[in-house]
């Protein structure tokens, strides 16, 4: 469990006035402005929809149907393959050796600890290797993959961070809330999914990612700042759609390979 979600410092965007249109306006009204706080506020209600989604709430309460989680996990595994590639791209564009080292360390987590979790969870959920090794990706998954690839391939370090930060920060936020609940899910594939994203090391990494984007974003031109804001906001919107879609796919699907995969 983490000591606290670093997103707590600026309050909930859904409870305040819309964030200023530009970062300069936002910074002028803050004693210690952070570019990522502005991005999160610009995401508006989508941030709350992503971090307090029905799927994450049911997961934390041990009420999430296996059919829903199964569908979600298969799509997420497909997404993670691209995520690893984008983190690899970030290593190449990172401005310092220290930054490259941080990113490489996290790549080790994605390709080792997290991959091991996926394989054990698939086994417990009776997902055949033929399904998770070559999944039929959904429109939302494909849109998410396309966004990450375009941000990394057509932009620079800042653009890559603009999609990586919300992708990881959303998970830290909901998992921290889940870890603070009184009880842990009894099914290991639910409890461990929370634990993977609610540990101090992950919280520290997300904070580091935010700090990188804070620096890059604050130094960017207003036009580039707007592009970073659009990438961040779109990532959050796709996180919501990704969670929503798991229910649409999982409804009525009790066996893997029944045509809904």
pLDDT tens digits, one per residue of 43-86:
999 999 999 999 999 999 999 999 999 999 999 999 998 899 89
User: Are the C-beta atoms of residues 131 and 75 closer than 8 Å to each other?
Assistant: no
Q: 122: closest CA among 69, 170, 159, 165?
A: 69
pLDDT above 50 (res 168): yes
The length of the chain, given as a count of residues: 261
Distance CA 187, CA 183 (A): 12
CA distances 189 to 69, 161, 257, Å, are 9, 29, 20
pLDDT above 60 (res 178): yes
User: Are the C-beta atoms of residues 151 and 159 closer than 8 Å to each other?
Assistant: yes
User: Are the C-beta atoms of residues 177 and 52 closer than 8 Å to each other?
Assistant: yes
Q: How many C-alpha atoms does 19 have within 13 Å on its Cβ side?
A: 28
Q: 61: closest CA among 181, 205, 216?
A: 181
**Angle subtended at Cα 3 by Cα 113 and Cα 23, rounded to the nearest 5 degrees:** 95
pLDDT above 70 (res 87): yes
193-222: per-residue pLDDT in tens?
999 999 999 999 999 999 999 999 999 999
The pLDDT, as a whole number, for residue 76 is 95
Helix (H) or strand (E) holding 99: helix 97-111
Distance CA 247, CA 67 (A): 8
Residue 250: pLDDT band by 50, 70, 90 thresholds?
low
- Look at the block and give the residue holding tokens 């600026």: 10
pLDDT above 70 (res 11): no
Reading the block at residue 100, the tokens are 């490259």
Reading the block at residue 119, the tokens are 């394989």
Distance CA 144, CA 141 (A): 5
Distance CA 236, CA 243 (A): 11
Reading the block at residue 255, the tokens are 């066996």
């Amino acid at each position: 469990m983490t000591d606290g979600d670093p997103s707590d410092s600026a309050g909930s965007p859904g409870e305040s006035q819309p964030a200023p249109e530009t970062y300069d306006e936002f910074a002028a009204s803050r004693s210690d402005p952070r570019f990522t706080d502005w991005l999160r506020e610009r995401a508006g209600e989508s941030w709350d929809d992503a971090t307090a989604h029905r799927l994450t709430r049911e997961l934390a309460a041990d009420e999430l149907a296996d059919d829903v989680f199964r569908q979600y996990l298969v799509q997420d595994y497909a997404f993670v393959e691209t995520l690893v590639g984008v983190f690899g791209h970030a290593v190449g564009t990172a401005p310092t050796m220290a930054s490259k080292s941080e990113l490489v360390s996290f790549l080790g987590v994605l390709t080792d600890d997290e991959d091991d979790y996926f394989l054990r969870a698939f086994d417990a959920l009776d997902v055949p290797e033929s399904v998770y090794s070559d999944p039929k990706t959904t429109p939302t998954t494909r849109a998410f993959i396309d966004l990450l690839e375009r941000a990394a391939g057509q932009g620079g370090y800042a653009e890559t961070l603009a999609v990586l930060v919300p992708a990881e920060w959303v998970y830290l936020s909901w998992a921290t809330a889940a870890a603070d609940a009184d009880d842990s899910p009894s099914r290991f594939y639910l409890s461990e999914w929370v634990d993977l994203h609610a540990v101090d090391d992950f919280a520290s990494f997300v904070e580091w990612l935010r700090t990188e984007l804070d620096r890059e974003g604050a130094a960017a031109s207003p036009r580039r700042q707007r592009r970073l804001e659009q990438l961040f906001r779109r990532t959050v919107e796709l996180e919501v759609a990704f969670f929503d879609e798991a229910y649409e796919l999982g409804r009525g699907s009790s066996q893997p390979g029944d045509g809904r995969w």
